[in-house]
Structure 1
Amino acid sequence: MKISLLATHLFNEPVMLSEGKFDTLMNVYLSRSGVEIDMSGVVNKGESATFITPRGSAIIPVSGTLTHRPTGLNAMSGACSYSGIDAKLDEALANPNVSTIILDINSHGGMVAGAFDQAERIYAARKEKQIIAIVNEAAYSAAFLMASAAHKIIVPRTGGVGSIGVIAQHVDRSEANAKAGIKVTPVFAGEKKTDLSPNQPLSDEAHERLQSSVNESYELFVDTVARFRGMETQLIKDTQAGLYVGAKAVEIGLADEVNSAKAALAALLPRSVQSNKRIGRRAKAITLNH
């Protein structure tokens, strides 16, 4: 499988990722462009399982880059899909022994596709069961959208939330192609078909259309977070997609409590279970360390 599969999630469409994570993924793609990755030895073991505590809490791990559906890249990178989270949410909602759903989040965000529908499902599920988001230790962009749908957001002193923004990039390979002696001749129908082709510079009209798409996703993002958090939309816009850590996140309304992820999760387990090393190791492996 080509690393170019990654490009379908990065270029020419809006994504909700922290700027630092976006740059990292961009660098991975640009450094490996055209390189074949041997997937024959990769086994897709699925995404991290839900852990049910003896006190009736379902802990759903949310880690890595968020994608619409599972792919081979999820198996390699530890990414997490919205459809996978939906399945775990359905399982927890259907379990009569579960009264609280914990979102154990460590993610810098991901794709716009699927993000809003998934967050709305979490928000709707609040009518059925208590939902708490524990930042462990990052909930940025699309991951924060998910966290904002919960009743409560707990953030550690060093944990970060925010990056309520949308970004898209177009890569122009035309000069590199020319230097390499490569000439690409598109044969197409439909005036806008090659608007976002990497083999030509981005025209003013194409740039305007891509910017419009980003703006639409951004407006939906800030409006949705404001509704979930019970805040004015302008207050969300005033964050300017900034990153907020610990107490500062609580101060501006993007989180509700400062506490370590370990302490918040441990509070869900009775002391008798915490003293059991075998179960304790299992809980730690699944929930405390991503």
Structure 2
Amino acid sequence: MKKWLKRLLLFGIIVMVLGFLGSLLSRLPVGDRVAVIKVKGAIIEPDRIVSKIQKAKEDKSVKALVLRVDSPGGSVGASQEIYRALEDFKSSGKPLVVSMGNVSASGGYYISAPADLIFANPGTITGSIGVIVQHTELKDLLEKLGIRTTAIKTGKFKDTLSPFRDLTPEEKEYLQKTIEDAYEQFLQAILKYRSKKISEQKLREIADGRVFTGRVAKELGLVDELGNLQDAINRAKQMAGVPEARVFYMEDRRGFIRKLMEEGFEGFGGDYPLMLYYLMR
């Protein structure tokens, strides 16, 4: 048998064995677990986070969820997607604890609000409760460069926020009403779960975009406890009544073959045909 064919067969056998072992292990009882889901960076594409939350809800071995939030915020819609998924998780009766990292502001705080308990470090930056729409106007600069633009549109608001012209007073009024509606939704989302810890009057006083340290946020009632991720995990175990539960980090996982190709053959610089050529020599 040719040398390359032997190597290819060996490679195939290894993949089959690993796949079989993975399938076998997935059927074994895993015991009680506390799941940890990380939300890191801007909240723009919520699908993967929502999917993980749903899996944690459906997994009978998961007795509690810790959401680790390290985000400066993001879009309103994406934050609401995660918020709603967390509400759905809570319907299972499993405890939900949030652990704030370096920053948990704006949308990062939005998705933290449904938690049964919120932990923050004393120096965590949180708050920034508000909504913003920004407009950059380049008309004068482009005119100096001899560049002119024309918009053909179906309605007077269709090119609102275009950088090629000023906003009209009517557009400014329309945008202000839009963000005020989103802002009101933000406030009500917080009050739905934290009205016993911070009054609506107090929330409106401080919800002007300013940020707070974790220590000040605790004094205001925006967070419940000062502590790190491990403190949040320990409390989640206690709340779920599973002190010996294992911690399960729900990281993004790639298929074995893809991971092998991307990481196991770094010497080939990600050149898959080159890798297969050397495998078959």
Name the CA shift for 1:176/1:66 in 2 (closer, same or farther; >3 Å). same
Name the CA shift for 1:224/1:273 in 2 (closer, same or farther; >3 Å). closer
Give the aligned partner of residue 4 of structure 2.
none
Mapping for residues 21-170 of structure 1, pairs under 5 Å: 55-67=32-44, 81-128=45-92, 129-170=94-135
Name the CA shift for 1:114/1:222 in 2 (closer, same or farther; >3 Å). same
Percent of pairs with identical residues: 24
Bigger relative contact order (CA 8 A; separation at least 6): 2
Q: How far apart, CA to CA, are the structure 2 residues paired with 1:180 and 1:265?
A: 58
Q: CA deviation at 1:264?
A: 3.6
> Given the two structures, how large is their TM-score scaled by the length of structure 2?
0.69
- Poorly superposed stretches of 4+, deviation over 6 Å: 266-274
Q: Over aligned residues, Cα RMSD in angstroms?
A: 2.7
Aligned 8 A contact 1:104 1:133 in 2 = yes
Aligned 8 A contact 1:133 1:150 in 2 = yes
Structure 1 counterpart of 2:194, from 206, 229, 236: 229
Give the aligned partner of residue 246 of structure 1.
214
Q: CA deviation at 1:207?
A: 0.9
Aligned 8 A contact 2:97 2:236 in 1 = no
Aligned 8 A contact 1:157 1:260 in 2 = no
Q: How far apart, CA to CA, are the structure 1 residues paired with 2:160 and 2:232?
A: 49
Q: How far apart, CA to CA, are the structure 1 residues paired with 2:200 and 2:209?
A: 13
Q: How far apart, CA to CA, are the structure 2 residues paired with 1:66 and 1:149?
A: 16
Residue by residue, what CA displacement relative to the aligned partner does 1:31-70 show, whole Å, maximum 9, x if unpaired? xxxxxxxxxxxxxxxxxxxxxx975111001010001xxx
Q: Which amino acid aligns with 2:184?
A: E
* Structure index of larger Rg: 2
Name the CA shift for 1:272/1:237 in 2 (closer, same or farther; >3 Å). closer
Aligned 8 A contact 1:123 1:228 in 2 = no
More helix per residue: 1 or 2?
A: 2
What count of residue pairs does the alignment treat as equivalent?
214
Give the aligned partner of residue 190 of structure 1.
155
Give the aligned partner of residue 263 of structure 2.
none
Q: CA deviation at 1:238?
A: 1.2
Aligned 8 A contact 1:55 1:268 in 2 = no
Name the CA shift for 1:271/1:194 in 2 (closer, same or farther; >3 Å). closer
Q: CA deviation at 1:171?
A: 1.1
Residue by residue, what CA displacement relative to the aligned partner does 1:237-270 show, whole Å, maximum 9, x if unpaired? 1112221212211111000100123444477799
Mapping for residues 201-212 of structure 1, pairs under 5 Å: 201-212=166-177
Residue by residue, what CA displacement relative to the aligned partner does 1:126-182 show, whole Å, maximum 9, x if unpaired? 231110000012210111010111111001111122111111111111111101110
Name the CA shift for 1:149/1:271 in 2 (closer, same or farther; >3 Å). closer
Give the aligned partner of residue 37 of structure 1.
none
SS in 2 for 1:183: coil
Give the aligned partner of residue 171 of structure 1.
136
Give the aligned partner of residue 146 of structure 2.
181
Residue by residue, what CA displacement relative to the aligned partner does 1:71-129 show, whole Å, maximum 9, x if unpaired? xxxxxxxxxx3221110001101100001011011000000123224313312322311
Structure 1 counterpart of 2:223, from 255, 275, 280: 255
Name the CA shift for 1:263/1:132 in 2 (closer, same or farther; >3 Å). closer
Name the CA shift for 1:196/1:116 in 2 (closer, same or farther; >3 Å). same
Q: How far apart, CA to CA, are the structure 2 residues paired with 1:272 and 1:224?
A: 34
> Given the two structures, how large is their TM-score scaled by the length of structure 1?
0.67
Structure 1, unaligned runs of 5 or more: 1-52, 68-80
Name the CA shift for 1:196/1:132 in 2 (closer, same or farther; >3 Å). same
